[in-house]
Amino acid sequence: MRLQTVTRLALVALVAVLCTQVVTAAPYPDIAWCDRQNLFFWNQTAEDAPDGYLAMDNVPQPAEQNITTITISVGDGVVPIANYISPIGEPGTALIIPDLWRFRTYAGVTSDPGETQIIYQVWNRTIDGTETEIFYEDSISHDVNGGGPTEYDLNYARRNYTVLSPTDRLVVKVFAQTSHASPIDVDYYTAGTNYASMVSMGDINCPSGDVYDDTPIIFGTLGLLTGVFIIMKFRKG
């Protein structure tokens, strides 16, 4: 093989490598997603949960229907129903990206529908117990306007990014409030097979190694084509 040909082939290889390497991932790559939805069901166990929290998991709890009932009136303000926490290391992603969150809720009230709300707050909890609200400190609410169990589908288009560490946990706090002067009962349904309240996080950014990245292939191919173009120019010269 002539030295000139070897030189040209080496140049093609070098250009392909350089074109592959010059592309660096953006800090928050929207295209890096797992093609899956993270579903969390509200369970009634306290396994691996701090005091005052119940577990939420990717699978429904194999248990009978649970109804959590609180009695509230307008003077009570915002009243907690339950706090749910994911296992350590869940949702198992390095980054929560902007996407649609869906809260599927089964609830009911005892009287005068339309003046009572179920409220959600979503937090990130670190290993030392520090909690940070991750929805711009917004509370997500939905009117409860019927006897239970009634299904309510609450959507929230989340616009910001949240970076997680491998030991972080997701926390969802559920509240209720009412404008009724006299006390009413609010029923919140979890577990069971028919009325299992839950949240869907939508598509999430994957941990390292789970993402298919075709950038090297694309730019390697471009580099190869560039090298071929250079060879052709050499031949014409």
Task: Write down the pLDDT at residue 225.
Answer: 54
CA-closest candidate to residue 199, choices 78, 99, 130: 99
**pLDDT single digits (tens) 214-227:** 344 344 444 545 55
Whether residue 30 has pLDDT greater than 50: no
Task: Write down the pLDDT at residue 226.
Answer: 56
pLDDT range class, residue 178, cuts 50, 70, 90: very high
Which residue do the tokens 């071929």 mark? 228
CATH of 39-200, one of 1.10.3720.10, 1.10.357.10, 2.60.120.260, 2.40.100.10: 2.60.120.260
Determine the 3-state secondary structure of 224 from DSSP: helix
pLDDT range class, residue 106, cuts 50, 70, 90: very high
**Which whole-number Å values give the CA distances from 200 to 39, 204, 206, 210, in the listed order?**
5, 11, 16, 20
**pLDDT single digits (tens) 127-175:** 899 999 887 767 788 888 888 788 998 888 887 788 888 888 889 999 9
Task: Write down the pLDDT at residue 25.
Answer: 44
Among 30-44, 90-104, 112-126, 193-207, where is mean pLDDT lowest?
30-44
Whether residue 67 has pLDDT greater than 60: yes
Task: Write down the pLDDT at residue 216.
Answer: 45
Task: Write down the pLDDT at residue 35.
Answer: 45
CA-closest candidate to residue 202, choices 122, 88, 144: 122
Task: Write down the pLDDT at residue 210.
Answer: 42
Which residue do the tokens 């915002």 mark? 78
Task: Write down the pLDDT at residue 41.
Answer: 83
Q: Report the distance separating Cα 97 and Cα 37, nearest Å.
A: 12
In the chain the beta strands, taken as DSSP E runs, fall at 39-42, 54-57, 66-72, 79-85, 95-96, 99-109, 116-125, 131-133, 140-143, 150-158, 162-163, 169-178, 184-190, 198-200
Read off the tokens for 7: 């030189």
Task: Write down the pLDDT at residue 234.
Answer: 53
| pTM, rounded to two decimals | 0.70
Read off the tokens for 149: 């169990």
Per-domain boundaries in the chain? 3-24+214-236, 39-200
